[in-house]
């Protein structure tokens, strides 16, 4: 016998997913408003939400109050919200020469965070040992059992792919490395890029705090201009599985031009501050610029750097117009990337003033939240809290 359609369990999971997504987007919402927004009956919403309250996923926050509302007779609207501590999310991010790890609530509130340096040239075994140690410390210090953790999200910088035996591609193959993670983490886990995690953190952790946008572009302002596209609150991946890659002009030619021009003006007269800091050593000048220490730069060099960034990011406006997002998020994971984000922000403001541009709220000290957001979405939101 052939059965068509979806099962009752799948339908219930889908409805729960819609409720969780709505609460993520709008914050505390009443049952009648939930029913209107997702298009099912109030009776069905009442049954589903009561079950989710019994499970500890939701809770009744109190009566809906508005400043202009007058006291009225009858039953007040009771607002529902996600219980932040129903379960905990864990995240790990391997970026630069640092391993970031931590525990967060379902709303992205930091419970515990730790960072450890990763030695240059560290082997796969050494890195895995560091990950295992951090995982065990976080679980022990917060008295967490596997069933209290939604899952673990991991973001691994491509610079570590060869060391960790992760096969490169538009969608990297983590299967070999996953065997090592499985040995120390008895919880569901998944991998994603730092930009994917940052985009989901914006959607699932912080969107309700500002004017929500179902469609957005997040751009990582790093060595390679890449990022993530969110459409209808879901990550969009093209046919190849790539999230977002922005082609740049000939990078080597643009960079060569920067160094040549910087070398011409580098002098005690035109760049006195940099000349003093570097003792007139042009090699040390390159180090300062690569580290993004723009606060130490003289104005002629700042002008060169702005021209350099604008040349690199010339195609960003084209990507924005192609996807036509409700919001643009610029992501600077490290202090050295913030000046790049500010220049791109000005560039977009000049060329595309109709698009709102924000700076991503994910900061370096809490970078593990990118991994935690991957776990929140996959193992909590996409499963309706099951």
Output the domain CATH number for residue 18: 1.10.10.10
Say what the pTM is. Answer: 0.89
Rounded to whole angstroms, the Cα distance separating 362 from 330 reads 10
- Biggest CA–CA distance in the chain, Å, is 87
* Structural tokens at position 258: 């920067």
DSSP 321-384: HHH--SEEEEE--SHHHHHHHHHHHHHHHHH-TTS-EEE----GGGTTHHHHHHHHHHHTGGGT
Q: How far apart are CA 101 and CA 189, in angstroms?
A: 14
- Whether residue 126 is contained in a domain is answered as yes
Residues 144 and 204 in one domain: yes
Beta strand extents in the chain (DSSP E only): 29-30, 58-63, 78-82, 88-95, 98-104, 110-117, 149-156, 189-192, 216-221, 225-231, 234-236, 244-245, 327-331, 357-359
Same domain, 135 and 185: yes
pLDDT digits (tens, 9 = 90+) for 255-291: 889 889 998 999 999 999 999 989 999 888 888 877 7
pLDDT at 2: 44
pLDDT of residue 72: 53
Q: What is the pLDDT of residues 92-118, one digit of tens each?
A: 999 989 999 999 999 999 999 999 999
User: What are 327's two structure tokens?
Assistant: 């919001």
* 108 and 51 share one domain: no
Domain count, the chain: 3
Structural domain including 291 reads: 251-310
Question: What torsion, rounded to 10 degrees, do the Cα atoms 311, 350, 219, 262 define?
Answer: 30
Within this chain, do residues 92 and 170 fall inside the same structural domain, yes or no?
yes
* Same domain as 300, residue 373: no
- Establish if 110 belongs to a structural domain: yes
- The span from the CA of 26 to the CA of 37, in Å, is 11
Q: What is the residue-level pLDDT of the chain in tens, covering all 386 positions?
A: 344 556 777 888 999 999 999 999 889 999 999 999 999 999 999 999 999 999 999 999 988 776 554 555 556 789 999 999 999 999 999 998 999 999 999 999 999 999 999 999 999 999 999 999 999 999 999 999 999 999 999 999 999 999 999 999 878 999 999 999 999 999 999 999 999 999 999 999 987 777 778 899 999 998 888 899 999 999 998 777 777 888 888 888 888 898 899 989 999 999 999 999 899 998 888 888 777 777 788 999 999 999 999 999 999 999 999 999 999 999 999 888 888 999 999 999 999 999 999 999 999 999 999 999 999 999 999 999 88
| DSSP summary character for residue 121 | T
Q: Verify that 117 and 133 share a domain, yes or no.
A: yes
Rounded to whole angstroms, the Cα distance separating 380 from 386 reads 7
């Amino acid at each position: 016998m052939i059965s068509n359609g979806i099962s009752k369990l799948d339908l219930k999971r889908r409805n729960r997913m819609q409720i969780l997504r709505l609460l993520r987007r709008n914050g505390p919402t009443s049952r009648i408003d939930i029913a209107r927004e997702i298009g099912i009956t109030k009776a069905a919403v009442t049954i589903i939400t009561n079950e989710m309250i019994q499970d500890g996923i939701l809770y009744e926050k109190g009566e809906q109050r508005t400043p202009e509302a007058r006291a009225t007779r009858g039953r007040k609207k009771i607002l529902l919200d996600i219980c932040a501590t129903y379960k905990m999310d864990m995240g790990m991010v391997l970026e630069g020469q640092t391993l970031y790890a931590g525990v967060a609530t379902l709303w992205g509130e930091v419970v515990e965070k730790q960072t450890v340096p990763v030695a240059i040239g560290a082997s796969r075994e050494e890195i895995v040992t560091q990950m295992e140690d951090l995982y065990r410390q976080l679980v022990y210090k917060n008295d967490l059992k596997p069933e209290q953790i939604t899952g673990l999200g991991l973001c691994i910088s491509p610079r570590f792919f060869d060391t960790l035996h992760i096969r490169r591609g538009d969608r990297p193959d983590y299967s070999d490395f996953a065997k090592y993670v499985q040995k120390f983490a008895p919880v569901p886990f998944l991998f994603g890029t730092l930009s994917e995690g940052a985009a989901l953190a914006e959607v699932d952790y912080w969107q309700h705090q500002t004017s929500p946008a179902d469609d957005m572009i997040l751009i990582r302002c790093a060595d390679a201009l890449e990022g993530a596209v969110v459409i209808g609150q879901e990550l969009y991946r093209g046919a190849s599985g790539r999230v977002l890659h922005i082609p740049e002009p000939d990078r080597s030619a643009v960079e060569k031009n920067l160094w040549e021009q910087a070398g011409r003006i580098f002098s005690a007269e035109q760049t006195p501050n940099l000349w003093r800091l570097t003792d007139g050593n042009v090699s040390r000048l390159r180090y300062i610029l690569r580290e993004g220490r723009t606060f130490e730069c003289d104005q002629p060099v700042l002008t060169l750097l702005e021209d350099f960034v604008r040349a690199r990011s010339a195609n960003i406006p084209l990507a924005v117009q192609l996807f036509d997002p409700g919001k643009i998020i610029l992501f600077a994971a490290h202090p050295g990337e913030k000046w790049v984000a500010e220049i791109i922000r000005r560039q977009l403001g000049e060329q595309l003033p109709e698009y709102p541009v924000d700076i991503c709220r994910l900061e370096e000290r809490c970078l593990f939240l990118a991994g935690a957001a991957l776990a929140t979405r996959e193992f909590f939101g996409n499963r309706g809290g099951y």
